[in-house]
Every structure is written in structure tokens, then in C-alpha cells.
Amino acid sequence: MGATQSTTETFEREPVEVTERITADGSSRWPVEPGRYRLIAARACPWANRAVIVRRLLGLEPVISMGIAGPLHDERSWRFHLDPDNRDPVLGIEYLGEAYRKADPDYAAGITVPAMVEIASGRVVTNDYAQLTLDFSSQWRAFHRAGAPDLYPDAHRGEIDEINEQVFHDVNNGVYKAGFAKGQAAYEKAYQALFERLDALSERLASRRYLVGDTITEADIRLWVTLVRFDAAYHGHFACNRHKLTEMPVLWAYARDLFQTPGFGDTIDFAQIKQHYYGVHTEINPTGIVPVGPEVTNWLTPHGREQLGGHPFGDGTPPGPPPVGEAVPPLGA
């Protein structure tokens, strides 16, 4: 996603503007169809990271291709500066905004990732990050890999939705509310809500391996994408500095457990994460200096969470290695 700001003291995230859905039942004008759409993501962005993880876990890589916007962008939007000729090799565009304006020549709202783009027309179909991963689980079910997990099981949807709502306001968006606050009171309110929620999550996860049930669900994915960026970006850059993740024993072990689970850590590029936050948010970091630290190889240390039981993929199996061209650099590279 791209951070959007209000003119008040409190950070307010603009709503997504392209909220059509890709469905299997004919309820929208965009049908589920292998090879028709391209997921545009960015390694830096937590909101896009959610879609990348779900696509990996469900094995949708053969039917939904993926383009990666680089960590740096300007007022013209996310750009493909890591690709040859600075253009997405499938869509042929330099800036993601070009695909938004293919959908609406007068589009003036946020140009965000993740976005699903129809390849033939080059137009954005949806940037509804909250609904997108749920639709990967439900609407694209016919194309899930054998052994794909159920990330949004019917029996637990109410509980998952409740946790997701809390995590969104206080954690996922909470770090942004702290980092982009324009006044001390707004910052302190967001800071307090963030760490109160992290404390509650620590208590919940002290006796259970995953947030809901005994398998990985959508709730774990949504929390984890913020945790994995916490020490690299939010602790220092966004002044969320009561504790580092590595100083919160339960959440640190939980985050390492998922990092070491196929489909999670193999989507993370810490260098791009830092390049984005420290290089783009010039109002917070005007020098553009990107920190060298923190140490990241500690993500591979033992976590001990297996003793809590649980089965990461339920009755299913882990995904295979990332497709050619989608692998991230090894830790410490």
C-alpha cells in the first residue's frame, strides 16, 4: 500500500477506491480465470505482503502471475525500477499509476499495492487489500494446489474477523498512526493502543501456537506482516519504541516460527523494506539515510513453539519453493 495522510494531527488512511471483486460465481464482471490477471505487489509493503503470502500458501502462482514494484517511488506512484528498462516485463508500464489510469483516466485517489491488473487491458481491477486475500481463499478455490491449507475456515470466521479488526486498527495501521502523527497527543494515543494490543496478543499466544484454532489462518498472516517489519522499520522510523520485537519473548518466538514456515520468510527482503521506509518518507527521515541494522540472521534461531502443538497447514502440506524469479535474497546477503 502507500501511506496516505490527513491534514489533522491524527493519521487517517484513505479508503481503497477500486473495490470490484474477481469472483467464481458470476457475481461480478471480473471472472476467475487463470492467466488473466497479474498481482502487483512490493516486497517493502506489509499490505501487499499479505497477498504474496496467501498466493504462495494456496499455490496460485501458476494461475496469477506477479510483478514486483521496487521499494522507491515518487509522487507518480510505485515504479518498477528493479526490472529491466524500469518497466514491468508483462504490463510494460513504468509506474503503477498507469494501470490505475487505464481503469479511470481521471483517477486521483491513492495508487496502492497490492493491485490486481487485467493483463490484456492493462487496467487495475481491484486494490481492495482486505478482500483480496479472502477471495484468493474462496473464489480461486478450484485452482488451489493439492494440500493447500484452509486459511479462512468457516468454523472460525467470526473469531478471525474479530481479531483482524483489532489488529488492523491497533497494530497494522497503528504503527502508521504513530509514525505519521502530527501532534504529541495523537502519537501517544496510537503508541499506547499499539503496545496494549501487542501485550494482549502476547498473552493470547503464550499458550497457543496460532491466533485461532491450531493452524495458520488469515489472522496470523495479517499480524505477522507487521511484526516482521517491526525492528527494521517501525521501532525506530515510526517511534514505536517501548520495546523491540526481539524484546517481546512470546511475539518474537511466534514471529520466528512463522518466518521459518515456507511461504512466510521466503517472501521477505529486509533491504527493500528499509530502503522504502527510510528512503521514501522524507518528512520523517529527510536525510534518506538507510540504517545498516538490525541483525536479521537471528530470524533463523530456534523458537521452541513446536511444544505448543498445532499443525501449520492443518491436514495439508507446505508449499514448494518459490517460482523461478520470485526468490528473495538469503538472510545476510
Band (pLDDT 50/70/90 cuts) for residue 76 is: confident
Q: What is the pLDDT of residues 229-286, one digit of tens each?
A: 999 999 999 999 999 999 999 999 999 999 999 999 999 999 999 999 999 999 999 9
Say what the pTM is.
0.95
Place of cell 498472516: 221
Residue range 282-314, pLDDT digits in tens: 999 999 999 999 999 999 999 999 999 999 999
Share of the chain above pLDDT 90, in %: 90
140/216 Cα distance (integer angstroms) = 19
Note whether 235 and 181 are within 8 A (CB).
no
pLDDT of residue 5 exceeding 50: no
Tell whether the model's pLDDT for residue 212 goes beyond 50.
Answer: yes
Spatial CA neighbour of 73 closest among 160, 1, 145, 141: 1
- The chain-wide mean pLDDT, for the chain, equals 94
Catalytic residue among 100, 176, 191, 254: 176
Is-catalytic flag, 176? yes
CA distance 19 to 22: 10
pLDDT band with cut points at 50, 70 and 90 for residue 8: low
Pick 22-143's CATH classification: 3.40.30.10, 3.50.50.60, 3.40.1110.10, 3.30.360.10. Answer: 3.40.30.10
CA-to-CA distance for 239 and 236, rounded, in angstroms?
5
Compare 140 and 19 and report the one with higher pLDDT. Answer: 140
Query: And the C-alpha cell for 148?
Result: 493447500
Residue 47: is its pLDDT beyond 70? yes
Q: Which of 37, 45, 240, 254 is catalytic?
A: 45
> Using CA atoms, how far apart are residues 6 and 115, in angstroms rounded to an integer?
23
CA 7 to chain centre: 26
CATH class of 154-308: mainly alpha
**How many whole angstroms separate alpha carbon 117 and alpha carbon 137?**
18
Say if residue 7's pLDDT is above 50.
no
- Is 45 labeled as catalytic in the residue annotation? yes
Domain boundaries, the chain: 22-143, 154-308
**Which residue type sits at 15?**
P
